[in-house]
Amino acid sequence: MALATRTDRRPPKKNSARPRSVGGGGRAPGGRALWDSTVGKKTVMAASGVLMLLYLVAHVIGNLKIFFGPEEFNRYGHWLRTVGEPFMHYEWTLWLVRVVLVAAVLAHAVSAYQLSRRDIRARPTAYVHKKRRASYATRTMRWGGIILGLFIVWHILDLTTGTVHPGGFQEGHPYQNVVDTFSTWYGNVIYLVAMLALGLHVRHGFWSAAQTLGVGSRTRDRLLKTLADVLALVLTLGFIAVPVGVMTGLVR
């Protein structure tokens, strides 16, 4: 009874717990804290993916100009280097776009790799019960990313710097350079494999980005899935049309 009475007389403890910030130290979360979080990395992946997707849409439209003949396509290639003149110097806008794209690719790749490693550390042992098999696109996202990364390097060395270009690279003549590349069997194989990987990557990545950025919902799921399928198909067919055009003699 005495113990109970003594306990009853104790002053109530004050709740000393304080909300902690993500970054620690009582400070508001900053860019580093956001990057270190899983949500932050997924957001970086989604945002950089959307940026690259917009570039791909513009890129495939420009590529299809090759079917209007060498003058049209070469004029388009020259226009890319003079965008923004006279305010921007020759090729400044093009290099600005390149720098932004390289930054987006690196951010996308690094965040994807770190998320993958984090997922492996969180599940060090295999599941006892097998889960439902994921779609083909989901299971090949990582390999697709590696294929696309290697393709970007080859594509730049082939049609931008001309380092590995077959038949002699001609500066200022993108039409002839494209025809040279797709006149070789290995140029076609590399490009077709990469574009198939791109289609799968876009299909799954578009859906994932929509969920990460909060665009997805129950009412929009079917629309987003359909849009992802259509976008992936259109981009794949649009890019593949160029080597097919060269192989069939439509572009010569």
Q: What is the pLDDT of residues 219-244, one digit of tens each?
A: 788 888 899 999 999 999 999 999 99
Q: Is the pLDDT of residue 13 over 60?
A: no
* pLDDT band at 7; cut points 50, 70, 90: very low
Query: At the topology level of CATH, where does 42-119+139-247 sit?
Result: 3 helical TM bundles of succinate and fumarate reductases (1.20.1300)
Question: Residue 4: its pLDDT value, please?
Answer: 45
Spatial contact of 52 and 105, defined as CB atoms under 8 Å apart: yes
Distances (CA, A) of 236 to 25, 40, 108, 193, 225: 49, 30, 20, 10, 17
Q: What percent of the chain has pLDDT over 70?
A: 81
Q: Is the pLDDT of residue 129 over 50?
A: no
Peptide bond into 86 cis (omega under 30): yes
Domain ranges of the chain: 42-119+139-247
Give the C-alpha separation, 182 to 179, whole Å. Answer: 5
Q: What is the pLDDT of residues 138-190, one digit of tens each?
A: 567 888 889 999 999 999 999 999 999 998 899 989 999 999 999 999 999 99
Question: Residue 81: its pLDDT value, please?
Answer: 94
Question: Residue 168: its pLDDT value, please?
Answer: 87
* pLDDT band at 80; cut points 50, 70, 90: very high
Give the C-alpha separation, 137 to 144, whole Å. Answer: 9
